[in-house]
Amino acid sequence: MHEITLDRIDRKILDHLQAHGRASNLELSEVANLSPAQCLRRHRRLEEMGFISGYAARLDARQVGLGVIAFIHVTMARGHIGELPKFQDLVADLPQILECYSVTGDFDYVIKVVARDLHSLSQFLMDTLMHMPGVSAVRSSVCLNEVKCTTTLPLN
């Protein structure tokens, strides 16, 4: 596998798109100091090479009625390696799970969840997550205050 290096112009385009996902090609070309045609070719190449995985509007969870954010640490039952694909497939299909990571340490997974309120979170934990194949324990931490939340990657 060959590592692909980004030049200074590619980094300018990507950095601007992270902060301004709806930027026009003209705006991007001005930032990158390229003609619009050159900029469009680079932008498309970056998409085709997988540097840009998608575009999305970032919503305010509270404004859409999701007032609780929680981080759930999941421990899988030992000896149930066969259950991991089933667990991962179920996690992928649950809309209240925003992120899921397989991790090292005392837990097997860390999951970021949104819910309307604490009651909804409790129902999700007790009725859904605890009944998933292979899950032996969950520990949750409810977010009190969001200090920083970004999708911007450091490109320097």
The pLDDT of residue 3 is: 63
The pTM of this model reads 0.85
The pLDDT of residue 129 is: 97
The pLDDT of residue 79 is: 81
In order of their start, the domains of the chain are: 8-48 (1.10.10), 62-142 (3.30.70.920)
Burial label for 156, CB within 10 Å (0-12, 13-18, 19+), is exposed
Q: Report whether pLDDT(9) > 70.
A: yes
**pLDDT digit string, tens, across residues 36-83:** 999 999 999 999 999 999 999 899 999 999 999 999 999 999 887 888
- Asked if 75 and 108 touch (Cβ cutoff 8 Å), the reply is yes
CB neighbour burial string for 99-126, b if at least 16 within 10 angstroms, e if fewer? ebeeeeeebbbbbebbbeeeebbeebbe
